[in-house]
């Protein structure tokens, strides 16, 4: 029997591996004005100093969200976070960040940074929930889809 109203199962979290590069590129392209290619994701995910988490649909195995971070000594920078638009506001971003930050802390990361467009209300609210604080601004750092410059806010969260 089919239950059309049944809620989809919550994605499960896994370490992000390079065989997900094409799915990362597709999800990223659907989430940002300027996407990164599957090749770019493959070399990033394969790099020794990069770590990521994947949120995977338990039934289909499809990627529904991911986060990717570059580490350097005891500092790290979140490079990107994206959740499938159909699954947003269901706690997937929060679950990804919580698991990822715990792993980064276990790897010895003390200071975590990221850049976020100042108009990205969803991301800013998510990061505020996790205690990130603004430590700088980069004017004209991003280009919107119409080519207009946009300011990046630099956020920081101490892990230890």
Q: How many residues bind ligand COA (CB under 6 A)?
A: 19
Work out whether strand 75-83 and strand 111-117 pair parallel, antiparallel, or are unpaired: parallel
Which part of the chain contacts ligand COA (CB under 6 A), choosing from 8-16, 44-52, 56-64, 113-121?
113-121
Active-site choice (40, 77, 127, 141): 127
Q: Does 94 bind ligand COA (CB under 6 A)?
A: yes
Instruction: Measure the CA–CA gap between 38 and 32, rounded to whole angstroms.
Output: 15
Stretch that binds ligand COA, among 34-42, 77-85, 132-140, 141-149 (CB under 6 A): 77-85
The whole-angstrom separation of Cα 95 and Cα 3 is 26
Active site residue 127: yes
Q: What are all long-range contacts of 103-108, with beta carbons under 8 Å and residues at least 24 apart? A: 103/51, 103/53, 104/51, 104/69, 104/71, 104/76, 104/159, 105/159, 105/160, 107/51, 107/71, 108/74
Distance CA 95, CA 88 (A): 12
Q: Where do we find the tokens 């949120």?
A: 55
| 52 lies in the binding site for ligand COA (CB under 6 A) | no
Contact between 82 and ligand COA by CB under 6 A: the answer reads yes
Among the listed residues 25, 44, 68, 126, the single contact to ligand COA using CB under 6 A: 126
Note whether 121 binds ligand COA by CB under 6 A: yes
For ligand COA, the binding residue among 90, 103, 111, 156 (CB under 6 A) is 90
The catalytic residues are 115, 127
Residues of this chain that bind ligand COA (CB under 6 A):
31, 81-83, 88-94, 116, 120-123, 125-126, 129
């Amino acid at each position: 029997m089919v239950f059309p109203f049944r809620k989809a199962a919550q994605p499960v979290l896994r370490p992000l591996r390079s065989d997900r590069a094409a799915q990362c590129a597709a999800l990223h392209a659907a989430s940002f004005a300027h996407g990164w290619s599957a090749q770019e994701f493959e070399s990033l995910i394969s790099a020794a100093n990069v770590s990521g988490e994947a949120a995977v649909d338990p039934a289909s195995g499809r990627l529904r969200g991911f986060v990717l971070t570059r580490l350097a000594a005891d500092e790290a920078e979140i490079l990107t976070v994206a959740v499938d638009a159909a699954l947003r506001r269901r706690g997937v971003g929060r679950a990804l960040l919580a698991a990822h930050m715990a792993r980064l802390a276990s790897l010895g990361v003390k200071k975590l940074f990221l850049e976020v467009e100042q108009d990205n209300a969803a991301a800013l609210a998510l990061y505020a929930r996790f205690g990130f604080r603004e430590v700088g601004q980069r004017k004209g750092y991003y280009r919107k889809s119409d080519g207009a410059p946009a300011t990046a806010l630099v956020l920081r969260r101490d892990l230890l």
